[in-house]
Structure 1
Amino acid sequence: MTEDPFVAHRSLLFTVAYEMLGSAADAEDVLQESWLRWADVDRAQVRDPRAYLVRIVTRQALNRLRTLSRSREEYVGEWLPEPLLTSPDVADDVELAESVSIAMLTVLETLGPTERAVFVLREVFDVPYGEIAEAVGKTAAAVRQIARRAREHVAARQPRVRVSRSEQQAVVDRFLAALRTGQLRELMEIMAPDVVLITDGGGVVAAALAPIHGAGVIAQLLARAKSRVVAGFETTPVWLNGAPAGRLDFDGEPSAVSLTVEDGRITRIYVVRNPRKLTRLDQPAELAR
């Protein structure tokens, strides 16, 4: 019996939806809606099931994204993407790993829904302009213009230098060790002077409501947070969104930590503390292009 195309391409479809939405929960909802639509399709009329399914998922994700953009404007504090536990194998596809990184997904959040869809489909999945045009309801010429603007927008905001997996791992290990032992000087040395800390508590748990700037301020803040722990503090190296990262447990409450590294030092620290976004830290997500 031939495997249903939806099942065969599920990892790809989930990845498309996740990159467009920044939320695994919303991506799963989109896949459920897309499956219901696929179930009603006359398969004999579908020449390219993969392209057809990507189009369905894109349309459903766009609908969801337009709804979410309004609710995210009312979000308490900073909004960060939902982190995914991933296997080290995801990093073997450098472009995929970069596209699902917390840093990139945070940049994609600054694009409009259509721009984001066009960027993801073209730059990550190399979908032809004509197919993107069908998915987003624009002409191919308009899609080319949108893609160019989106590329320029992202290029101006993403990290300037790619770092190797080994360099990222080394910096993450140093950061977690300094945090675990409370070495303030080591924390300051591993961070760039203009480092930025962004935390997401969603109004559910304690978190800064705005970005915090500066190595000295951030090092002291992290050291104070650790000193307040009563029941225990654990740091665990993990792979999140295709890169070495960390999991922190303060008094039994987990946090996911993702770092942006440039020239051997940390320039961005993303800390997700909202428990609603930390349900995917035990089972690796299946991502694919």
Structure 2
Amino acid sequence: MNERSEPTTVTAEPLADGGRMDSATEVFVAHRNLLFTVAYEMLGSVADAEDVLQETWLRWMKVDLKQVRDQRAYLVRITTRRALDRLRAMRRRKEAYVGPWLPEPLLTTPDVAEDVELAESVSMALMLVLETLSPTERAVFVLREAFGVGYDEIAAAVGKNPAAVRQIARRARLHVDARRPREVISPNEARTALESLRRALETRDLQGLLDVLAPEVVLVSDGGGVRQAAPRPITGATKVARMIVGGSGKAGVALTGDLTVVNGNPALVLRVDGEIDGVIAIRVEDARITGLYYVRNPEKLTRIASEIPLTLR
């Protein structure tokens, strides 16, 4: 789906205007992790988020800093506008995507997992819920709920008046609240469920899977037309367990799962004969897994080798 782009690099170059580039670059770099987090939460794609940051920087280089009262807010505004344009374009690309589309998993730094608010805002479960919002609803929800941006500033970013933004925010919040997990579980609870899942996967233990899966569990797998994946979500513990066991490789193939932290939450990196096969994120309620999100598309597995810093501030 996405052509991979190189991470945004920003270097200060001397200009004839007395070092304005150095000053502007310093400000941009100081807020880079925040801007990336905004773009990623809106897009669910690292490559697209990096492209948005590059576009934001190029636009920022043309700004007269003396006329900017709040540099952070101005940068967030530019990023939001660029991300909105890209999100609308991505919707057209997703219509041609083969099978279900899942957000790109990120190997995140330890501080992300320690920040409960941040970890929930980038969790695979919530990111998937955000996919059901319109582009403007998603932008408003992300800016308001995750980053605490004021309505006036959001209005300037999305091209709406503050009254309309308040209505959009309320509608988006109700929509998300109806679909997000009922409770935020602790990392220990998630790791316990993942450990049970890992053991069952490695031993191809059908009953072990049934024990850890909730009766109404939903499996969403993303192969992007490159790797084998279910063409649509699979519902029900028995169907999901049989699908996993049946598709976990031929007899004699070594299947292993490595516990890690993806998108600020415990996850599994699944390997077949030592080679990465995919990343499994989960949704847990009442100590059992209610959602399995299995990303197998190789284009979405390039960012799990090194940690990516995220921040809400």
Task: Report the TM-score range of the alignment, normalised by the length of the smaller protein.
Answer: over 0.9
- Residue 122 of structure 2 corresponds to residue 130 of structure 1: no
- Residue 210 of structure 2 corresponds to residue 202 of structure 1: no
The residue aligned with 2:264 is 242
1:258 touches 1:270 (CA, 8 Å); kept in 2?
yes
What is the CA–CA distance in structure 1 between the aligned matches of 2:81 and 2:31, rounded to whole Å? 17
The residue aligned with 1:26 is 48
- Residue 138 of structure 2 corresponds to residue 116 of structure 1: yes
- 1:188-232 CA-to-partner distances (Å, cap 9, x unmatched) read 010001111000001011000001111112112211222426653
The 5-angstrom pairing of residues 75-154 of structure 1 reads 75-154=97-176
The residue aligned with 2:310 is 287
- Residue 77 of structure 2 corresponds to residue 55 of structure 1: yes
Deviation at 1:262, TM superposition (A): 0.1
Q: Secondary structure at the match of 1:219?
A: helix
1:229 touches 1:250 (CA, 8 Å); kept in 2?
no
The residue aligned with 2:290 is 267
2:249 touches 2:255 (CA, 8 Å); kept in 1?
no
Q: TM-score of the superposition, structure 2-length normalised? A: 0.90
- 1:145-199 CA-to-partner distances (Å, cap 9, x unmatched) read 0000000000011111111111111111111111112221111010001111000
Q: TM-score of the superposition, structure 1-length normalised? A: 0.97
1:234 touches 1:248 (CA, 8 Å); kept in 2?
yes
- 1:113-165 CA-to-partner distances (Å, cap 9, x unmatched) read 00000000000000000000000000000000000000000001111111111
Q: Secondary structure at the match of 2:294?
A: strand
- Residue 268 of structure 2 corresponds to residue 226 of structure 1: no
The 5-angstrom pairing of residues 59-78 of structure 1 reads 59-78=81-100
2:201 touches 2:255 (CA, 8 Å); kept in 1?
no
Q: Which amino acid aligns with 2:309?
A: E
The residue aligned with 1:46 is 68
Q: Secondary structure at the match of 2:247?
A: helix
What is the CA–CA distance in structure 2 between the aligned matches of 1:142 and 1:164, rounded to whole Å? 36
The residue aligned with 1:179 is 201
Q: Which amino acid aligns with 2:246?
A: R
Q: Secondary structure at the match of 1:226?
A: coil
**Number of aligned residue pairs:** 289
2:213 touches 2:237 (CA, 8 Å); kept in 1?
yes
227-236 or 273-282: bigger deviation: 227-236
Change (3 A) 1:144 1:257: same
2:269 touches 2:276 (CA, 8 Å); kept in 1?
no
What is the CA–CA distance in structure 2 between the aligned matches of 1:52 and 1:28, rounded to whole Å? 18
- 1:45-66 CA-to-partner distances (Å, cap 9, x unmatched) read 1111100000000000000001
The residue aligned with 1:169 is 191
2:98 touches 2:231 (CA, 8 Å); kept in 1?
yes
Structure 2 unpaired stretches of 5+: 1-21
- Identity among equivalent pairs (%): 57
Q: Which amino acid aligns with 1:190?
A: V
Stretches (4+) displaced over 4 A: none
Q: Which amino acid aligns with 2:89?
A: T
Change (3 A) 1:181 1:138: same
Change (3 A) 1:74 1:285: same
111-120 or 251-260: bigger deviation: 251-260
Structure 1 unpaired stretches of 5+: none
